[in-house]
Chains A and B, each alone.
Chain A
Amino acid sequence: AQRVTQPEKLLSVFKGAPVELKCNYSYSGSPELFWYVQYSRQRLQLLLRHISRESIKGFTADLNKGETSFHLKKPFAQEEDSAMYYCALVQGAQKLVFGQGTRLTINP
């Protein structure tokens, strides 16, 4: 079964420090992976997708098929990065399968 695992429910780092949110997946075939973010009192929104290889708000994520990982990284955390982050994959080019989420807190 397709599954997304985010091993850290909570992650706290200081402003200016590097951030890495971990995501591992199980999927038979070539996965399409995404990171969604939910800021306080806002709706869930797409942050980035691996297929576009973009950098959004300084975040990047590289798909590592050997390790079945799609970790989200940012070299220098900012306070406005505090949010809930969800890793997800598309199953059957239709529905999203989400991980449990990681709550990132950036301390001043």
Chain B
Amino acid sequence: DTGVSQDPRHKITKRGQNVTFRCDPISEHNRLYWYRQTLGQGPEFLTYFQNEAQLEKSRLLSDRFSAERPKGSFSTLEIQRTEQGDSAMYLCASSFGTVSYEQYFGPGTRLTVT
């Protein structure tokens, strides 16, 4: 296991299209997080899962965004009807246990909406 992986690494899409990103956490980690990072900003929390349960969603996560972690392993983040403002780096992180003091980040998926 080489760490958290994300696929694809880059995605270019036209406005209005749907996109889906995948995150594979470190195998024994039960918590999985999604963050979004725009240029010049730090990562901003979107949502997190403990096992397959989605326990919190940020107000940043509009109804066009949906995330799943069906078997408590990998997770997907889908954006419907993309807008130019969705262009950002989408980061996934995972951690072990109920005290998430160390989150391990993936390389991110860079989304460009044209």
Interface residues of A (CB under 8 A from B): 4, 6, 9, 32, 34, 43-46, 49, 51, 86, 88, 90, 93-101
Residues of A within 8 A of B100 (CB): 90, 93-94
Residues of B within 8 A of A43 (CB): 3-4, 105-108
Partner of B101, one of A4, A32, A86, A101: A32
Interface residues of B (CB under 8 A from A): 3-4, 31, 33, 35, 40-45, 48, 55-56, 91, 98-108
Given contacts A43-B108, A44-B91, contact A88 B102 (CB under 8 A): no
CB pair A100–B42 under 8 Å, yes or no, is yes
CB pair B101–A44 under 8 Å, yes or no, is no
Going nearest first, the 3 A-B pairs with the smallest beta carbon separation are: A98-B42, A95-B45, A44-B105
Partner of B42, one of A32, A45, A95, A101: A101
CB pair B105–A45 under 8 Å, yes or no, is yes
Instruction: Tell me the minimal C-beta distance from B2 to chain A in angstroms.
Output: 11
Given contacts A43-B106, A94-B100, A95-B33, contact A88 B42 (CB under 8 A): yes
